[in-house]
Amino acid sequence: MDEQIPVKTSLSELYPADALTTSKKRWKNLISKFQSEFGHNPTFIARCPGRVNIIGEHIDYSLYDALPAGVVADVIIAVASSLAKSNQFAVAISNTNPEKFSSRNLEFKDKDSIDIDAAKHEWTNYFKAGLKGALPLLSKANPDFRQSNLEILVDGTVPTGGGLSSSAAFVCASALSVLYGNGVHSITKRSLTELAIVSERSVGVNSGGMDQSASVCSESGKALHVAFYPQLSVEPVSFPKTDPPLTFMIAQSFVASDKHVTGPVCYNLRVVEVTLAAEYIAAKLGLKLPQDSSSLGRSLRGLQEAYFASNKTNKDFSSESDRVSHMLSLVQEHLSNKNGYDRQEIATTLGISISELEERYMTTFPIHAENFLLNQRATHVYSEALRVHKFITLMKESSPSSSQESETLLKELGDLMNQSQISCREVYDCSCPELDEMCNIAREAGSYGSRLTGAGWGGCTVHLVPKDKVDDIRTAWIDKYYKTKKPDLSQEQRAEAVVVSEPGHGAMIIELQDNSEFLT
């Protein structure tokens, strides 16, 4: 992660061959609109992709590993900058879809005056989040730093509310734009990822870090093993060669899932529940949880580390899988009430008042709940962590030499994805009927493994598929889901609903030079 964000001059180094022609047209359109909007060319374009999460859902904010991959869909931001004459600076920001995203002229008295109203769902909040996160890094590098005025034009192909993390792509690209636009041309992947993780929380979401890691650090053709403990790290992982070859299909349910809007009863509530589960078990065991980098500063991973450091068991747990499995048993022992826990019971166990409980865990991101399903949420986290560990081990260590061995491997990987979907649906309560139906249709048509991807409650599904079944599965979705369940979709929406593509590159800067390949 300490390598720098790559700076390129050619789109052929960024997109796969089958997407290059369309991508060039889109980038030319962005540059043309920038010229019309601001009267001159941009100097560079920052690009960050969305991501698909293959397995490891809702466990990054508990500091457990995940396996995402970058996708071709992305956010691109054309930028021109000029040095501000005083500490006051301005950002003129527009979007290539002005009917949906209105232009704004933002003015700031200084770097400390960037206010983001998380209660107001304004598209420029995501840019301001990236801006706010980038400025301290600029000031640290140069105490006499003076912010530049920025002209910004944004274009995105990551569907909003689609489960492919359009918000992380936007925040990462925004922060990258601000840094590069202010003369910082040596930006490490780690610094961009870490500032983007914190930045996105300012728009009202307790993000864990997987989305930003994938958007910044993904490599073409590979999945990305993202680990959060003891510190953030990434490792590209190659897919095993099978016969028939495996591929991943991404399918849109067209059920919008907006973490910002539904956070108090969905995403942010789950973050609070898993944190309270860790605190509750720790209190029962007489353990003090360490402060860590999770969303609320305490985590189920922190509980695991504190437990084994305390020598409360004499058994030998030499492997990570054995340790996580033991944590699952502790959940059943100390969080046995599957009907849930109210605020009074949780506060009493933690030795604090209800008002202290609410102040500590439910103030920064308001929560609308009276009953907290701590057993189920912790059960999902630990069981999903085990599935991720097994999935990655299979990918790294398997080299099938026959079609029979390939079949066995694909079935094992697929079963883990199917188990993940069951847990998301029945234990973590983050699926929805449409996602479940799309997964069932795909499995019946030949998918080895099918599950939701992203936060859930709508958005996209991801499917482990042998390449010779791609057309069958696509046809099944069209006939059994899109035509019957979503008859109002346009022909264009239906055509774009299903994506089959290689994992794509992460964050990148494209310098606009006269001889740039994509401008010819």
Q: What is the pLDDT of residues 285-327, one digit of tens each?
A: 999 999 999 989 999 999 999 999 997 776 778 899 999 999 9
Average pLDDT over residues 61-70: 96
Amino acid occupying residue 130 = G
Q: Report the 10 Å Cβ neighbour count for 451.
A: 29
**For the chain, percent of residues with pLDDT exceeding 70:** 97
Give dist(CA 336, CA 30) in Å, integer.
Answer: 56
- For 127-144, write each residue's pLDDT tens digit: 999 999 998 888 877 777
Where does the pLDDT of residue 118 fall: very low under 50, low under 70, confident under 90, or very high at 90 and above? confident
Q: Are 67 and 391 in contact (CB under 8 A)?
A: yes
Full set of structural domains in the chain with CATH? 7-238+504-519 (3.30.230.10), 267-377 (1.20.1440.340)
Structure tokens at 249: 């299909």
Average pLDDT over residues 165-181: 94
pLDDT of 520 over the 50 cut: no
pLDDT of 515 over the 80 cut: no
- For 84-117, write each residue's pLDDT tens digit: 887 789 999 999 999 999 999 999 886 677 888 8
* Neighbour-count burial for 175-184, b at 16+ CB within 10 Å, e otherwise: bbbbbbbbeb
pLDDT of 415 over the 70 cut: yes
Taking each helix axis from N to C terminus, what angle separates 189-200 and 210-217, rounded to the nearest 10 degrees? 150
Residue with tokens 């103030």: 363
C-alpha closest to that of 195 among 136, 243, 148, 273: 136
Q: Are 198 and 187 in contact (CB under 8 A)?
A: no
Type and span of the H or E element at 449: strand 449-453
* Mean pLDDT lowest among 203-207, 218-222, 466-470: 203-207
C-alpha closest to that of 224 among 506, 517, 514, 421: 506
C-alpha closest to that of 169 among 275, 312, 256, 71: 71
Give dist(CA 191, CA 22) in Å, integer.
Answer: 31
Structure tokens at 28: 């030319």
**Spatial CB neighbours of 411, under 8 Å, sequence gap ≥ 6:** 448
Choose, from 65, 211, 258, 292, the residue flagged as catalytic: 211
Where does the pLDDT of residue 231 fall: very low under 50, low under 70, confident under 90, or very high at 90 and above? very high
What's the pTM value of the predicted model, to 2 decimals? Answer: 0.94
Residue with tokens 């209660």: 119
pLDDT of 412 over the 70 cut: yes
Where does the pLDDT of residue 261 fall: very low under 50, low under 70, confident under 90, or very high at 90 and above? low
**For the chain, percent of residues with pLDDT exceeding 90:** 74
Q: Report the 10 Å Cβ neighbour count for 226.
A: 29
- For 9-37, write each residue's pLDDT tens digit: 888 888 888 888 899 999 999 999 999 99
Active site (annotated) includes residue 316: no
Exposed, middle or buried by CB within 10 Å (0-12, 13-18, 19+), for 35? middle
Average pLDDT over residues 460-471: 95
